[in-house]
Amino acid sequence: MAIVCAAATGSEPVALPVAELPEPPVSLAPEIASLQAQIDELRETLARTAAEKSRTAPKPNKLSPHGKPTLDLGGQLQADTVYFSQDAESIAAVGDLQDGTQFRRLRLVARGTTWKQFQYALGVDFALANQPSYLDNYLEANEVPWLQNVRAGHFFEPFSLERVTQNRNNTFMERSLVDTFAPARNMGVMAFGWAESELATWQIGTFRTNSDNVGNDSFDSGQALTMRGTWLPYWDDDTDGHSYLHLGAAYSYRATSQNQVRFRNTPEIRKAQPIGSPSANPAAPPFAPIFVDTGNISADSFQLFDPEFALILGPVSLQSEYAFAFVDQIDGPQLFFNGYMAQLSWFLTGEHRPYDRHAGIHTRMPVRDEFFLVRSGRGRRFGLGAWELAARFSNITLNDKNIQGNNMTDFTAGLNWYLNPYSRVKFNYVRAFLEDTRVGNSLTDAFGLRLDTEF
């Protein structure tokens, strides 16, 4: 072999003889092949990661190339199987709870842009309350001077980290007992934004206190003022947020609907009960095993408070909330109700819980090794998916002065299997301790299995 080169003066090229390089020893061939396979596998892993980031990245706020509004269709399916075990006191307090299966959520959604900085959302759930119910249905303006973003329509009020985080991105099948005090979706208008550093967010809005599941308000339900702020005192830039500390707080002042307010909830698992099932609480609806219930309280207004905490250290997550309410009774003393929860989770496969720094919520979790088959440079192999162990302790107190709505403590253990970022299988065990002023203390065990997928 020879190398041909030319002098800087432009003279004719000169061929310089070079000794032939020897072929690599045969003994190194397996190592070279193995190294090449590892390189190929790394390339495919990087390609999958880039594709996943592309799918989960916020959509650009612009029109389609043809100048028409954009449309992204999606949906969600959650199928549950639930079993109960009760002692005699539990049956006396809440009735004989029936095992069974149900669609917890069955949703169709659409999102997109309408013109330049305007976005919209449309959503319907065909499983909630056994009838179509409206989800997020709103119009949103972005890049608004001073206010940053403004949203109007039917959507979640900005209250509670657990509530405003999408259900599929929460750890357990159901939200904790703290959710008793969190307003659901209501008709309203909200301004929201974030700091330039992306370490803090703010939201403030006014809503109808109690519009129904389709956004209607046929009665004088009153008006509410709700606000929430979050702060990240610690964010690990080196790992792009594999570790962080979230602090937040929310407040809501609410005029009552028809001069009445009511707080009630189930244990941290839900199963529709058949019509006619016995219940010691005549105010409880026939389709839900209600355990704690204040009944209707005559009141002019009430206030809600909710401090938030979440610490993520790689695969380990710690989260806690404490919500409480002050109720201004009509012709009665002021009432105080409260609830708290603390939960711990650990990803056995090393994933972490990601975070949206523009909304102050948890987001969809990437899966390192998707189940079931994964392509690699060495052919096909099985993937484990992501596995998570979790435990939660929560409590609610609805007994105060002249109101006896019962107290309850829940312990929930969970095992989650993430097949990929869009499909999950969740198993929850709930032990509910109920303090009932009529029949005494009781114990209920509940077991739940959920198949959850979205598109």
- Output the DSSP codes for 10-41: -PPPEEEE-PPPPPPPGGGHHHHHHHHHHHHH
Print the SS3 string covering 189-203: EEEEEECCCCCEEEE
65 and 46 within one domain: no
244 and 160 within one domain: yes
77 and 33 within one domain: no
371 and 408 within one domain: yes
What is the reported pLDDT for 348?
97
Helix (H, G, I), strand (E, B) or coil at 147: coil
Tokens of 311: 């610490």
Helix (H, G, I), strand (E, B) or coil at 109: strand
| Alpha-carbon gap, residue 81 to 100, rounded angstroms | 6
What element of type H or E holds 163? helix 161-164
| C-alpha 440: how far from chain center | 35
What is the reported pLDDT for 410?
98
Q: Domain boundary at 33, 57, 81, which?
A: 57
84 and 19 within one domain: no
348 and 230 within one domain: yes
What is the reported pLDDT for 218?
66
| Alpha-carbon gap, residue 441 to 148, rounded angstroms | 51
The upper half-sphere exposure of residue 7, i.e. CA atoms within 13 Å in the direction of its Cβ, equals 5
What is the domain range of residue 115? 58-454
Amino acid, single-letter form, for residue 191: A
Q: Dihedral, CA atoms, 181, 182, 186, 192, nearest 10 degrees? A: 140
Contacts by residues 161-165 (CB-CB < 8 Å, ≥ 24 positions apart): 161/230, 161/246, 161/248, 161/308, 161/310, 161/319, 161/321, 161/360, 161/361, 161/362, 162/319, 162/321, 162/341, 164/228, 164/359, 164/360, 164/361, 165/361, 165/362
| Alpha-carbon gap, residue 294 to 265, rounded angstroms | 10
Residues in a beta bridge with 302: 254, 327
114 and 28 within one domain: no
64 and 43 within one domain: no
Q: Domain boundary at 11, 42, 57, which?
A: 57
Place of tokens 């000794």: 19
Tokens of 271: 């199963």
What's the number of domains the chain is made of? 2
| Alpha-carbon gap, residue 155 to 215, rounded angstroms | 9
47 and 69 within one domain: no
Q: Domain boundary at 57, 79, 104, which?
A: 57
138 and 8 within one domain: no
In CATH, what number is assigned to the domain containing residue 304?
Answer: 2.40.160.10
Q: Dihedral, CA atoms, 233, 237, 243, 244, nearest 10 degrees? A: 20
117 and 257 within one domain: yes
What is the reported pLDDT for 281?
36
CA distances from 167 to 163, 361, 362, 387 (A): 8, 11, 10, 18
**How many residues comprise the chain?**
455
Residues in a beta bridge with 250: 228, 306
Residues 6+ apart with CB under 8 A from 50: none
pLDDT in tens, the chain (455 residues): 454 444 444 445 555 454 454 555 555 666 666 777 777 777 777 777 666 665 555 555 444 544 578 999 999 999 999 999 999 999 999 999 999 999 999 999 999 998 878 999 999 999 866 678 899 999 999 999 999 999 999 999 999 999 999 999 999 999 999 999 999 899 999 999 999 999 999 999 999 988 777 777 766 778 999 999 999 999 999 999 999 999 999 999 999 988 999 999 999 998 876 544 333 333 334 446 789 999 999 999 999 999 999 999 999 999 999 999 999 999 999 999 999 999 999 999 999 999 999 999 999 989 988 887 666 666 667 788 999 999 999 999 999 999 999 999 999 999 999 999 999 999 999 999 999 988 899 999 999 999 999 99
406 and 366 within one domain: yes
Q: Are 119 and 61 in contact (CB under 8 A)?
A: yes
What is the reported pLDDT for 215?
72
Start-to-end C-alpha separation, the chain? 59
Helix (H, G, I), strand (E, B) or coil at 89: helix
